[in-house]
Amino acid sequence: MIKIETVVVGPLEVNCYIVWDPETKDGIVIDPGAEGKRIQRIIEINGINLKFIVNTHGHVDHIGANKDIKEAFPEAKLTIHEKDLPLLQNALNSFIAPMVGAKASPEPDILLKEGDKISFGNIEFEVINTPGHTPGSICLYTEGIMFTGDTLFAGSVGRVDLPMSEPEKLVPSIKNKILKYPEDTVILPGHGPSSTLGNEKRFNPFIRGSSSLLIW
């Protein structure tokens, strides 16, 4: 059993996900990009014991409220992939930082790598490093569900024209790492609606090779 609440935050409409085990009330927050007080209230209303703050990558629209959440829940461990640490540390240099009301992020408690597990209550996520949008972009998988950050969207993919993007790695990350999971896996991306891996495999033009990369 897993509970998921989607909170769309900031002017770039980032999907922040609050995920918890309803039996133990242990939970995590994924990509608190903005509106930290709003995210905090939802966590508190649901009585969640926050264990981790997980950034799928280091762009400012996804980490802008790390500070607020860490201060509200100091026992929660802040995590990001090791290769995106420079992006996290320099996120306020982005021209969009003032737009999203970002605050300088605390240093992470845990630097993630491929194959790590994030466990809370009776739930365990596998960390999948999917470079392309950023070197340290990650997806999080548990049975039937994958949080894909800005790697894979419904009908689209993450843009690769940004500093530290790796254009040549994005589609291979999706095809070789993500699409090996069951087709009925629901994907919950960093922006926009949900989908399934089967739908994206069949209809996503970037995966099928009929569109060039530049979107988010």
Rounded alpha-carbon distances, angstroms, from residue 60 to 88, 90, 143, 167: 7, 9, 29, 20
Number of H-type helices and E-type strands within the chain = 8, 14
Q: Which of 46-55, 99-108, 133-142, 204-213 has the lowest mean pLDDT?
A: 204-213
In this predicted structure, the answer to whether residue 34 has a pLDDT above a threshold of 60 is yes
pLDDT in tens, 134-145: 999 999 999 999
Compute the distance between CA of residue 206 and CA of residue 109 in angstroms, rounded to an integer: 35
Q: Which of 22-26, 124-128, 161-165 has the lowest mean pLDDT?
A: 161-165
Distance of alpha carbon 17 from the chain centroid: 8
Compute the distance between CA of residue 89 and CA of residue 63 in angstroms, rounded to an integer: 10
Domains of the chain: 3-208 (3.60.15.10)
In this predicted structure, the answer to whether residue 15 has a pLDDT above a threshold of 70 is yes
In this predicted structure, the answer to whether residue 213 has a pLDDT above a threshold of 70 is no
Place of tokens 């009301």: 101
pLDDT at 59: 98
Compute the distance between CA of residue 15 and CA of residue 7 in angstroms, rounded to an integer: 6
**What integer is the mean pLDDT of 6-23?**
98
**What integer is the mean pLDDT of 10-21?**
98
pLDDT at 214: 46
> Mean pLDDT score of the chain, rounded to an integer?
95
pTM: 0.95
